[in-house]
Amino acid sequence: MGIMERERTIADSVAETRRRHALYLKAVNHPLRRRILEALREGDATLEELSSKTELDEKTLEWHLGVLEHGFCVERVEEGGRTLYRLTEEGRVIEYL
């Protein structure tokens, strides 16, 4: 690998790190999303269960879950014919807020 290729890789890596950091901060910097993360501390949950725990309607909840997924805080998993939402390591920031 030449010097120019290494520099481009480093620059791309930094840019990607900044992009991911911005998505993450956007995800955790909202009270409703922190409420969702708090609800998931208890364990994996379906959309319906999260709606009940957070008192958010499903449309609003789905939107915020999307932001949390793109911010690397939550992952969606299929298990036993159900869609569950689970905290990622990044989502465990809720333990410190």
Give the rounded distance of the alpha carbon of 59 from its chain centre. 17
Identify the DSSP state of 73: S
The CATH number for 87's domain is 1.10.10.10
Full pLDDT tens readout for the chain, 97 residues: 443 333 222 335 778 888 888 888 899 999 999 999 999 999 999 999 999 999 999 999 999 999 999 998 999 999 999 999 999 988 888 777 6
Task: Count up the domains in the chain and report the number.
Answer: 1
Q: Are 56 and 45 in contact (CB under 8 A)?
A: no
Q: Are 32 and 64 in contact (CB under 8 A)?
A: yes
Note down the domain range covering 33: 3-96
* pTM confidence score: 0.81
